[in-house]
A and B are shown apart, each in its own frame.
Chain A
Amino acid sequence: MSGATPETTLCARNLTRRFGNRQIIHDLSLELRRGEVLGLLGHNGAGKSTTLQMLTGCLLPGSGEIKICGIDLLRQPSLAKAHIGYLPETPPLYRELSVRDYLIFAARLRGMKPGEAAAALAQTSQRCGLEAVGKKIIGTLSKGYQQRVGIAQAIIHSPDVIVLDEPTVGLDPAQIRDIRNLIRELGNRSSVILSTHLLGEVESVCDHVQIMQEGRLIYGDTTGALASYGGEPGHLEENFIRLTETQR
């Protein structure tokens, strides 16, 4: 990558969303460039998952606009969605299929040709550590492996924007380390948004952080800046709590 500013892969402006009478998301704007890993941080129920669902086209925003690689997600959903890889909170796995068949299906679903899909399968299995379980039925795998298959389906088509909703939930420490390494590696080529409530995760993989509170972004900066927010270097956790408490 040269010295020039990398292109914007995801741009969301003034998103709002209500469920019934309750406003869940208030006027939310986000921007992400290629090569960035953004951590979306917040308490339970802050609206992280809803935001990610809107960014991936699973939920229509009440108002606002979303552009993926310059393509309007609301006007040309099919074109824009080909650039997105999404891992929801619960991995969307067909438990009766084998890992291989499922990943090929996921790749073809995003418009890859059969030959490309086979090559992508080999590469993705290796990246996510799934070579040994390729022929197994997904329903028989452990939670950790299922989560990895979930990540594999989100990245198999080399999307420009990768959206991961709590990617390390339910994994053991060694697996968490592997997945974090993988996310950092993905962040070199694509842009990644991940939601989490684990501060350690943000610290170890994200270069940018946005804090959400009751449907609003209340703080956004680089991870380093949050750690030294208010002149207290190195206390990410305290600063996060201070920020979210003062807003209440």
Chain B
Amino acid sequence: MIRLLAWRELRSLFSMPSTWLILAALQFIFAWFFLARLEAFLQIQPQLAQLANPPGVTITVAAPMFNTVALLLMMLVPMFTMRLIAEERRNQTFTLLLSAPLSGGQIVLGKFFGLLVFLAVLITGVPLMLYTLALGTVIDHGLLLSNLLGLLLLTASYVALGLYVSALTTQPVIAAIGALAVLVGLWLADIGAAAEDSPWHFISPLNHFQNFNVGLLDSSDAAFFVLFSAVFLLLAIRRIHNNRIYG
């Protein structure tokens, strides 16, 4: 059932022209950024070569690129999550799911995985571009993989939060603005907090991505993403149940 709902979500996304437009535009932006980073690297490469232990191409091109994609996703994911439940409520299609033999958990997970698969497709362009570097040089697969894993976990936590905000309202636009406000708020609080051990650093998803970004796999960061997603998914399930109580 979860797979069926995820499939429906993907089907609806791909039947809208705007989705394809966004996909194309983002690939263009990713490629632009990739080429800009690569050019910068080629310019400073002679100086780097004089260093005793020079940073490789992966850390100078790939890591900043993943960081930018992570920031872009923060702005982008709310645009996709806003539709998930709010629009179904507004179009009154949510009744179909409520009257079908589905639990709230299945509805929420179906939508969560549907959008996550779509976003995974959206970001596959990034590692593909980076792997073209392997044609001319040696790249650090470990660093790429840790970045990819981190990016996926980060996206999952964004989607879970957006899904919950979408479950709170019947207006997709409000859902988008709400999710964006929370995500940007968490990010600003993180970069604004001066103290090293400030709790703001701890609750910001983007901060937990930084370790993945430099190739450090820390299980506490992974656990944070899993918990963050689980909390908001559970809240969304709860909200759908309340839907049946309060109408």
Chain A contact residues, CB within 8 Å of chain B: 19, 53, 56-60, 77-82, 84, 86, 88, 90, 92-97, 101, 105-106, 108-111, 137, 153
For chain B, the count of residues having a C-beta within 8 Å of the partner chain is: 23
Q: How far is the CB of B128 from the nearest CB of chain A, in Å?
A: 28
A97 to B10 CA separation, bound complex (whole angstroms):
11
Which parts of B69-117 form the interface with A (CB within 8 Å)? 91-103
Interchain Cβ contacts within 8 Å, total number? 69
Q: How far is the CB of A165 from the nearest CB of chain B, in Å?
A: 10
**Across the interface, do B95 and A86 meet the contact criterion of CB distance under 8 Å?**
yes
Q: Which residues of B contact A57 (CB under 8 A)?
A: 98-99, 244
**Across the interface, do A94 and B100 meet the contact criterion of CB distance under 8 Å?**
no
Partner of B93 from A56, A59, A80, A92 at Cβ < 8 Å? A92
Q: How far is the CB of B14 from the nearest CB of chain A, in Å?
A: 9
**Across the interface, do B102 and A78 meet the contact criterion of CB distance under 8 Å?**
yes
**Cβ contacts B126-160/A at 8 Å (1 or 0 each):** 00000000000000000000000000000000000
**Across the interface, do A81 and B100 meet the contact criterion of CB distance under 8 Å?**
yes
Partner of A88 from B4, B92, B102 at Cβ < 8 Å? B92
Partner of A109 from B12, B102, B245 at Cβ < 8 Å? B102
Q: Which residues of B contact A80 (CB under 8 A)?
A: 101
Which parts of B12-41 form the interface with A (CB within 8 Å)? 12, 15-16
Extra contacts, 9 of them, besides A92-B95, A101-B11 (Cβ < 8 A), are A53-B247, A57-B244, A88-B92, A94-B93, A96-B15, A97-B8, A109-B1, A109-B96, A111-B101
**Across the interface, do A108 and B4 meet the contact criterion of CB distance under 8 Å?**
yes
Q: Which residues of A contact B97 (CB under 8 A)?
A: 109
Q: Which residues of A contact B247 (CB under 8 A)?
A: 19, 53, 59
Partner of B99 from A58, A93, A111 at Cβ < 8 Å? A58
Evaluate whether A58 and B101 lie within 8 angstroms (CB atoms) in the complex, with A88-B92, A105-B4 already known. Answer: no
A159 to B72 CA separation, bound complex (whole angstroms):
47
**Across the interface, do B93 and A58 meet the contact criterion of CB distance under 8 Å?**
no
Partner of A77 from B1, B92, B101 at Cβ < 8 Å? B101
Evaluate whether A96 and B99 lie within 8 angstroms (CB atoms) in the complex, with A59-B244, A90-B92 already known. Answer: no
A17 to B16 CA separation, bound complex (whole angstroms):
40
**Across the interface, do A97 and B101 meet the contact criterion of CB distance under 8 Å?**
no
**Across the interface, do A78 and B101 meet the contact criterion of CB distance under 8 Å?**
yes
Q: Which residues of A contact B16 (CB under 8 A)?
A: 96
Which parts of B181-233 form the interface with A (CB within 8 Å)? none
Q: Which residues of B contact A108 (CB under 8 A)?
A: 4
What 10 A-B pairs are tightest by C-beta distance, nearest first?
Answer: A92-B96, A81-B101, A90-B92, A92-B93, A78-B101, A86-B99, A58-B98, A56-B99, A82-B101, A96-B15
Q: Which residues of B contact A81 (CB under 8 A)?
A: 99-102
Chain A residue with the shortest CB-CB distance to B8: A105
A77 to B236 CA separation, bound complex (whole angstroms):
19
**Across the interface, do B11 and A109 meet the contact criterion of CB distance under 8 Å?**
no
**Across the interface, do B101 and A79 meet the contact criterion of CB distance under 8 Å?**
yes
Q: Which residues of A contact B92 (CB under 8 A)?
A: 88, 90, 92
**Across the interface, do B101 and A95 meet the contact criterion of CB distance under 8 Å?**
no
Q: How far is the CB of A161 from the nearest CB of chain B, in Å?
A: 11
Q: Which residues of A contact B15 (CB under 8 A)?
A: 96-97, 137
Evaluate whether A109 and B100 lie within 8 angstroms (CB atoms) in the complex, with A88-B95, A96-B15 already known. Answer: yes
**Across the interface, do A84 and B12 meet the contact criterion of CB distance under 8 Å?**
no
Q: Which of A53, A137, A153 has the most CB of B within 10 A?
A: A53
